Amino acid sequence: MSQSDTLTAQAKPETVSLTGAEIVVRALKDQGVTHIFGYPGGAVLPIYDALFADNGITHVLVRHEQGATHAAEGYARSTGKPGVVLVTSGPGATNAVTGMTDALMDSIPLVVLTGQVATHLIGTDAFQEADTVGITRACTKHNWLVRDANDLSRTLHEAFQIATTGRPGPVVIDIPKDVQFKTGEYLTPEQVRHRTFRPKTEPEAASILRAVEMMAAAKRPIFYTGGGLINSGPQASAALRELAALTGFPVTSTLMGLGAFPASSPQWLGMLGMHGTYEANHAMHDCDLMICLGARFDDRVTGRIDKFSPGSKKIHLDIDASQINKVVRVDLGIVADAGKAIAEMVKLWKAKDKKADAAALKDWWAQIDRWRARRSLAYEASDALIKPQYAIDRLYALTRGRDVYITTEVGQHQMWAAQRFKFEEPNRWMTSGGLGTMGYGLPAAVGVQMAHRDALVIDIAGEASVQMTMQEMSTAVQYNLPIKIFILNNEYMGMVRQWQQLLHGGRYSHSYSEALPDFVKMAEAFGCLGLRASKPSELDAKIQEMIDSPKAVLFDCRVDATENCYPMIPSGAAHNEMILSALSDASVSDEGKMLV
Partner 1 sequence: MANERHTLTALVDNEAGVLARVVGLFSGRGYNIESLTVGEVDPAERTSRITVVTSGPPAVIEQIEAQLKRLVPVHAVTNWTFATDGVEREMALVKVAGSDRSAAKQMAAKLGARVLDDRGQATVFELTDAPANIGSFIEAMRPLGLCDVSRTGVAAISRDPG
Catalytic residue among 256, 284, 290, 495: 495
Q: Please, which residues have CB within 8 angstroms of residue 533's CB and are 6 or more apart in sequence?
A: 386, 539, 542, 543, 555, 556, 557, 558
Which listed option, partner 1, ligand TPP, Mg ion, none, makes contact with residue 382 (CB within 5 to 8 Å by class)?
none
Instruction: Please indicate whether residue 105 is annotated as part of the active site.
Output: no
Minimum distance, C-beta of residue 513 to Mg ion, in the bound complex (Å): 6
Binding residues for partner 1, rule: CB under 8 A, are 2-3, 133-134, 137-138, 141-143, 145, 162, 194-197, 320-322, 324-326, 329
Q: Per-residue DSSP letters for 254-294?
A: -GGGTTSS-TTSTTEEEE-STT--HHHHHHHHH-SEEEEES
Catalytic residue among 22, 31, 37, 65: 65
Closest to partner 1 by CB, 29 vs 198, is 198
Which listed option, Mg ion, ligand TPP, partner 1, none, makes contact with residue 196 (CB within 5 to 8 Å by class)?
partner 1
Closest to ligand TPP by CB, 164 vs 437, is 437
Closest to ligand TPP by CB, 213 vs 299, is 299
Closest to Mg ion by CB, 157 vs 558, is 558
Distances (CA, A) of 508 to 485, 492, 585, 590: 27, 10, 14, 19
Contact by Cβ (8 Å): 431, 408: yes
Minimum distance, C-beta of residue 242 to partner 1, in the bound complex (Å): 31
Among 20, 443, 447, 494, contact with Mg ion (rule: CB under 5 A): 494
Site for Mg ion in 76-105 (CB under 5 A): none
Instruction: Please indicate whether residue 73 is annotated as part of the active site.
Output: no
Which listed option, ligand TPP, partner 1, Mg ion, none, makes contact with residue 17 (CB within 5 to 8 Å by class)?
none
Nearest Cα residue to 261 out of 326, 342, 332, 337: 342
Site for Mg ion in 446-485 (CB under 5 A): 462-463
d(CA 241, CA 369) in angstroms, rounded, equals 21
Catalytic residue among 66, 100, 129, 177: 177
Binding residues for ligand TPP, rule: CB under 6 A, are 409-413, 436-438, 462-465, 488, 490, 492-496
Q: Please, which residues have CB within 8 angstroms of residue 251's CB and are 6 or more apart in sequence?
A: 222, 223, 225, 240, 244, 261, 265, 267, 268, 269
Closest to partner 1 by CB, 171 vs 468, is 171
Closest to ligand TPP by CB, 66 vs 277, is 66
Instruction: Please indicate whether residue 495 is annotated as part of the active site.
Output: yes
Which listed option, partner 1, Mg ion, ligand TPP, none, makes contact with residue 320 (CB within 5 to 8 Å by class)?
partner 1
d(CA 324, CA 56) in angstroms, rounded, equals 42
Nearest Cα residue to 46 out of 169, 180, 176, 170: 180
Instruction: Please indicate whether residue 141 is annotated as part of the active site.
Output: no
Which listed option, ligand TPP, Mg ion, partner 1, none, makes contact with residue 496 (CB within 5 to 8 Å by class)?
ligand TPP
d(CA 317, CA 314) in angstroms, rounded, equals 10
d(CA 213, CA 502) in angstroms, rounded, equals 45
Closest to partner 1 by CB, 57 vs 321, is 321
Which listed option, partner 1, ligand TPP, Mg ion, none, makes contact with residue 133 (CB within 5 to 8 Å by class)?
partner 1
Classify 575 as helix, strand or coil: coil
Classify 557 as helix, strand or coil: strand
Instruction: Please indicate whether residue 261 is annotated as part of the active site.
Output: no
Angle between helix axes 358-372 and 278-286 (nearest 10 degrees) is 140
Minimum distance, C-beta of residue 409 to ligand TPP, in the bound complex (Å): 5
d(CA 410, CA 436) in angstroms, rounded, equals 6
For 227-378, where are the alpha helices, taking DSSP H only? 227-232, 234-247, 278-286, 299-302, 338-351, 358-372
Residue numbers annotated as active site: 65, 127-128, 177, 495
